Amino acid sequence: MKLSYLLEVLSIAPEKELTGIEGLQLDSRQVKKNEIFIALKGGERHGVEFAESAIANGACAILTDKAPDKMYSVPVFHCPNLGNHLPALANRMWPLARHIKVMGVTGTNGKTSTVWMLSHAFENLGKPSARLGTLGQAFKNSSYKSALTTGNLFDNYRFLDFVASKEGHYAAMEVSSHALVQDRISGLTLDTAIFSNITREHLDYHGTMEAYAGAKAKLFEEDNLRWAIIHLNDPYAKQMISAVNPSAQVITYGINNPEADVNATGVNSCLEGVSAWVDTPWGGGLLRLSLVGSFQLENALSVIAALCTHAVPLHKALEVCRSIPGVPGRLECHKLPNDVTVAIDYSHTPAALQTALETLRSAHQTGKLWCVFGCGGNRDTGKREVMGAIAEQYSDYQIVTNDNPRWEDPNLIAENIMSGMKSKPFRVCLDRKEAIYLAVNSAEPGDVILIAGKGHESTQEVEGKLIDLSDIEVVQSIKEEKENMDAVV
């Protein structure tokens, strides 16, 4: 792409033409050869401070909202309101991105599972669909890791442009409250918006629950939105409905809620899955999932609504939902040779932890319930004692360990957690791998262990470093060790 063509959207005419522009980057560390570095103010420092680093990585030009105070070896263009023009730049750079119909999912819990279900369902129906979120970006045989629930604006445009170039039609995307406040999906073609729930989270960023809910509601204000699918059982449902753009039709869903458009009754849940009768505007039918928990049933109801609003017959929607595989790190159950079941879950909020424990208790009523958990460092400290109280109330034994301590003292985090507990936990073991082994070796046959907080994650963040650590891999190693021991015996 020519530089002059790109800069037309800023009404800037470069003195010297550059050709072969291959991309735009907001992060100097991600810049590649023949890309333009967009230098804007960050949380603590301005991007222009990293201009030399971007140039060293191959930047062919720099766009910034701050007047440069020095000369650089590449052209520098100053645009005072540059941040307001990012969607126009992204659309010029990646014009195919807007061809993709985006199904955005927001809420405190359930985003990852819903996006997973949506993409698999549309794919199984022969409608190529991408997914973007906590589990990364994926389309057909291509997948990329992501450090954020919702990538930055350019990452989203770049990937959706790629999806469109490969004849994709739909994309299911997790949309975080941070992303909505920071306009990371601005200008994309949002076809469907789905709301799951709101519980305490990210108050370190938003300050209040009111501000947090207001951020979530922004998703439903998007221009040209066609469908708004909202969980009617949630206390914040009315606020979301009131925010819906007049262009969209509202479809509600819920469990045992006759006022919901899509309503599930007769719920039956076990460790092998969940089933329920579903009534909808398109008829009724039996829904069976191989996923564990009523919360996954709630997510599936939103998926059924999305499928049916996109002209998929109800019987077909129910059929494809039955074949959706388990979501990595979302109540992912492993049965060990010693008849102990280990469930790995991403639950790192009070409500999610309670839901996971309640689900396991109701689905498996024999044996004891163990909870191995911690809380993230440099995040909302107020939820720690709440999670400690929940773990104590809903499980028989608790082992407090590290989550992602980041720059905080792990001992202090553990103390914060235990301040919400009436009695001491079974053990405090800050080495997470050791804590998992301790739980497995302490549990009796028939017991269930919830390992909460990290789910699919493969690293642990400690003092600015990412250490290789996967709950899933640890449990798989334990399972193999016990199987080998049994084979020897």
Classify each residue of 386-415 as buried b or exposed e, where b means 16 or more C-beta atoms within 10 Å of its C-beta: bbbbbbbebbebbbbbbbbbbebebeebbe
Confidence band of 489 (pLDDT split at 50, 70, 90): low
Two tokens at 114?
């819903």
CA angle 201, 251, 101 (to 5 degrees): 80
Question: CA 261 to CA 380: how far, in whole Å?
Answer: 35
Question: CA 299 to CA 315: how far, in whole Å?
Answer: 18
Q: At the top level of CATH, which class does the domain 332-488 belong to? A: alpha beta
Reference 448, options 336, 327, 329; nearest CA is 336
Residues of the chain with CATH 3.90.190.20: 332-488
What's the predicted TM-score (pTM) here? 0.89
Q: In angstroms, what CA-CA distances link 460 with 29, 174, 185, 402?
A: 21, 22, 28, 9
CB contact set of 275 (below 8 Å; sequence gap of 6+): 267, 268, 269, 286, 287, 288, 289
> CATH homologous superfamily of domain 95-322?
Mur-like, catalytic domain (3.40.1190.10)
Coil, strand, or helix at residue 262? strand
Exposure of 148 in the CB half-sphere (CA atoms within 13 A): 14
Render pLDDT for 112-138 as a digit per residue (tens, 0 to 9): 999 999 999 999 999 989 999 999 999
Render pLDDT for 314-364 as a digit per residue (tens, 0 to 9): 999 999 999 999 999 999 999 999 999 999 999 999 999 999 999 999 887
Q: What value does the mean pLDDT of the chain take?
A: 95
Residues of the chain with CATH 3.40.1390.10: 3-85
Residue 251 has pLDDT above 90, yes or no: yes
Confidence band of 43 (pLDDT split at 50, 70, 90): confident
Question: CA 277 to CA 471: how far, in whole Å?
Answer: 34
Mean pLDDT of 186-208: 94
Confidence band of 188 (pLDDT split at 50, 70, 90): very high
Q: Thinking of the domain 3-85, which architecture would CATH place it in? A: 3-Layer(aba) Sandwich (3.40)
* pLDDT confidence of residue 49: 94
Coil, strand, or helix at residue 205? helix
